[in-house]
Amino acid sequence: MTHCRILLVALLCSGLAGVAPSRADDDADRARGALERGEIRPLEEVLRAARTAVPGDVVSVDLKRHDGRWLYKLRILDADGKRRTVKVEARTLKILDEDDDD
């Protein structure tokens, strides 16, 4: 699967499926452009970094631009059934934050 396709699937899984198609298309185009410009890393690399920090099943992915940089927010269901949130800087894969969703 190509990186753009993976990115589009992640965007759709992140809740954009219920959004008007033009907005979802715009979001996917922005993300694709960011990937092509090297501003974000491919989704499989982001998933690997997040799962290394918090092992488990990724249940949602959200990509946003904040303060001039792209951030991924992933929700991961760990082995104990707890949902955890992990924030990853999309270009460097640095884990910025991880916490339990209470």
Burial call 71-90: b when 16+ CB within 10 Å, e when fewer: bbbbbbbeeeeeebbbbbbb
Domain holding 66, by residue range, is 3-100
The pLDDT tens digits along the chain (102 residues) read 444 444 545 554 544 445 555 666 677 888 899 999 999 999 999 999 999 999 999 999 999 998 989 999 999 999 899 999 999 999 999 999 877 765
Give the distance from CA 56 to its chain's centroid: 15
**pTM exceeds cut of 0.85:** no
> What are the CA-CA distances from residue 55 to residues 62, 80, 99 (Å)?
18, 11, 13
Residue 20's CATH number:
3.10.450.40
**Looking at the 3D structure of the chain, how many domains does it have?**
1
- The sign one gets for the Cα dihedral 45, 90, 38, 35 is positive
